Amino acid sequence: MDFMQLAMFTPVISNVKIQNSTFIEWIIERIFLMEMESDILEVCVDSTESALAAQEGGASRLELCGNLVIGGTSPSPCLFQEVQAAVELPVHILIRPRYGDFCYTEHEFHIMLKEIEMFQDLGAQGVVIGVLCPDGTLDLTRMKQLIQAAGDMCVTLHRAFDLCADPFAAMEQAKELGIHTILTSGQQNNCCQGKELLRQLVSHEEGRISIMAGGGINPQTLKELLPYIGAHAWHMSGKALFQSPMTYRKKEISMGAASLDEFQILRTSASQIRQAKKILTHHKEAYHVS
């Protein structure tokens, strides 16, 4: 049984009542160890069209969100169900109630808990979360509550990590919390700028957590960063601009941010994902040969 088969199988067994949870814990541990030994290509998508393109290109799994153009927010349950029916990839759900920082009100946090419970019931394989205190530390109390709500789902700490005051302290806390993956750009705007910290973080994984490099990853930057950072998990959107089919256009009217073109749509390019997957495969083959 390979990683993908295990990843698809885990949500099924996690919904079965087992008096001894050792078997479920063993399966999750196997998935984590296999992930640490494999090159994971996670693709962030906010539409079924992008999910299909990611699968076509060879993605390992999806992070599903809404409104990727503003960094991503929680997707709708209907979008998840549509994606779930369309692809055969593990889907991890971004839990983010709004755009902006990661210091949440009581109402926002309550929404996050409810969303995790909802997506777990719908069959999501993982959740992507992050809550901070005003001083730039992880909000451990709230993080524990979210992780408890996630149950047997895989848990990723998203780029809230990049806003933490002390990345190494936050990494150790994430390990203690039992988080599987940290998504990070190395606390910079993109992974190229953050490559030094990324390299250090990867060296501190200790087989207890996976550092997933994300932020400005495309086939070109992946080729540059892969041998330097040494990460086994990579996160990208592979986005490309697609023109709207609208022929009648009122360009002087904006439905939101004036900087956004209402007649251009960002979607995942299967070609970009395919190129990135090819780079990962070649790197792995070269590593094993050497």
Question: Which CATH number fits the domain that encloses residue 143?
Answer: 3.20.20.380
Residue 80 within any structural domain of the chain: yes
In a domain, 16, yes or no: no
* Structural domain harbouring 230: 40-289
In a domain, 81, yes or no: yes
Taking only the tens place, the pLDDT of each residue in 101-143 is: 999 999 999 999 999 999 999 999 999 999 999 999 999 999 9
- Give the predicted TM-score (pTM) of the model: 0.84
What's the rounded Cα separation, in Å, for the pair 261 and 243?
10
* 268, β-bridge pairs: 239
Please tell me the total count of domains within the chain: 1
Instruction: Examine the pLDDT at 196 and tell me if it is beyond 60.
Output: yes
Q: Are 164 and 196 in contact (CB under 8 A)?
A: no
Q: Say whether pLDDT at 37 is over 60.
A: no
Which residues have CB under 8 Å from 152's CB, separation 6+?
Answer: 10, 11, 14, 24, 28
Which is more confident, 91 or 13? Answer: 91
Give me the pLDDT at residue 8, please: 42
- Domain contains 231: yes
Phi-psi region of 248 (alpha: psi -120 to 50; beta: other; left: phi over 0): beta
- State both tokens at 163: 């806003």
pLDDT at 28: 55
Does residue 177 lie within any of the structural domains?
yes
Domain annotation covers residue 23: no
**Residue 112 corresponds to which amino acid?**
M
Q: What is the pLDDT of residues 142-181, one digit of tens each?
A: 999 999 999 999 999 999 999 999 999 999 999 999 999 9
* Rounded Cα gap, residues 129 and 149, in angstroms: 12
